[in-house]
């Protein structure tokens, strides 16, 4: 698998190792969390993160991040992932498909 080197793979002069897609997903989830961090109501921020990941991430991306666990995730994305794990019915895929 090849990755495009963009703002997710280069930060502060360090490259994310190309064989560690989980690190890229953690960084992306934390970036989404940073966007919603300004939300005044914590529950709405968590719901916004979970909604974004459910809508725009492929099933494979969500599963890979869930399998990775909580390591490296900031508080809000971590809670959003916990909620997604408990709310996704097995066998039924939410929107987002599996294009990736």
CB 25 within 8 A of CB 72: no
> For residues 19 and 94, what is the distance between their CA atoms, to the nearest angstrom?
27
**Residue 13: what pLDDT?**
46
Cβ proximity of 25 and 70 under 8 Å: no
Walking along the chain (100 residues) 10 residues at a time, the average pLDDT comes out as 41 54 94 96 97 97 94 96 82 54
């Amino acid at each position: 698998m090849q990755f495009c080197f963009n703002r997710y793979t280069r930060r502060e002069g360090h490259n994310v190792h190309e064989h560690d897609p989980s690190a890229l997903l953690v960084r992306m989830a934390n970036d989404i969390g940073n966007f919603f961090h300004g939300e005044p109501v914590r529950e709405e921020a968590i719901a916004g993160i979970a909604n974004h990941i459910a809508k725009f991430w492929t099933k494979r991306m969500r599963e890979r991040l869930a399998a990775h666990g909580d390591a490296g995730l900031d508080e809000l994305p971590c809670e959003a992932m916990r909620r997604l794990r408990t709310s996704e019915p097995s066998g039924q895929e939410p929107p987002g498909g599996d294009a990736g």
